[in-house]
Structure 1
């Protein structure tokens, strides 16, 4: 079992004992998503910490998008609940890079690979994503790569 999944399970048990309903329900949802990812495919398998982190990132993004949608629809109470769930999940995610740090990492990755022009967008994105290593959302990375390639 991955250490991140162990930590989620232990924290859920602690939240249950403390009668923290928000944390309990959020961590149950996250563990259910991890369980679903484990059984996806042809055979059940244990997820690595990186794979569990990817599932948590996806779930946190869903919460942010849902909070925005609820806020736009005028449902402030539901938006606040989704935001709170997102904050619980953010405790388990790596710190996001600042714009300056992201710019520096992407420019270093592009310089190392010698990427220029639109035709090399795919390989440039692969190198940039490897350099960032989950510390920024893909959309932010793609926007920065496009900006630096002059697209």
Structure 2
């Protein structure tokens, strides 16, 4: 489980004196704990790894947005700190599908559902998320679906 990998990495980082990784991993654990608390009241995924991957993907997305804003604001030192956090967080994410694999998955689902136009985008996106949520960045996938259906 990814949760166990994160705990092991925290212990290793602490023993190795890696303050940057230790801090980032603690942020990850905190975000996962917050998501666990939210899941008590709402619907939560059946698979724990799905929940953890959702949290990690959200964290990476937030940091990439921050990097972009810091670079526009000419604050390179802050952008570099965020980029270092992204590297640590991405260690725990499963390998993401590349553009060719994403396009192939979209085409397979499009053919299976008989999708022909943009009116079918919601169905295709839902099926794509159901099958490939852990290995696919859904924000990038929407562009691939639009290209395939448009």
TM-score (norm 1): 0.89
**Runs of at least 5 residues in structure 1 that lack an aligned partner in the other structure:** none
In structure 1, the residue matched to 2:72 is 72
CA distance in 2, matches of 1:124, 1:47: 22
Q: Which of residues 25, 28, 42 in structure 2 aligns to 1:27?
A: 25
Q: Is the 8 A contact 1:113 1:124 kept in 2?
A: yes
**Aligned partners of 2:11, 2:39: CA distance in 1, in Å?**
29
Structure 2 match to 1:140: 140
Shift of 1:41: 4.8
1:120 aligned residue: 120
Task: Assess, with a 3 A threshold, how the Cα gap between structure 1 residues 128 and 43 changes in structure 2: closer, same or farther.
Answer: closer
- Separation in 1, partners of 2:121, 2:137: 17
For residue 122 of structure 1, report the CA deviation from its aligned partner.
0.9
Q: Please name the residue that 1:53 is paired with.
A: 53
d(CA) in 1 for partners of 2:36 and 2:47? 6
CA distance in structure 2 between the partners assigned to 1:17 and 1:122 by the alignment = 47
- Using the TM superposition, give the Cα deviation of residue 17 of structure 1 relative to its aligned residue in structure 2, in angstroms: 1.2
Q: TM-score, normalised by structure 2?
A: 0.90
Asked if 1 retains the 8 angstrom alpha-carbon contact of 2:50 and 2:133, the reply is no
Q: Cα distance, 1:11 vs. partner?
A: 0.8
Residue pair 2:5, 2:92 contacting (<8 A) in 1 also: no
User: RMSD in angstroms over aligned alpha carbons?
Assistant: 2.0
Corresponding residue for residue 9 of structure 2 = 11
Could you tell me how far apart the structure 2 residues matched to 1:81 and 1:36 are? 23
Which structure 2 residue ranges, 5 or more long, are not aligned?
none
> What is the Cα deviation at residue 43 of structure 1?
5.2
Question: Runs in 1 of length 4+ with deviation above 6 angstroms?
Answer: 44-47
Kept in 2: contact 1:110–1:127 (CA 8 A)? no
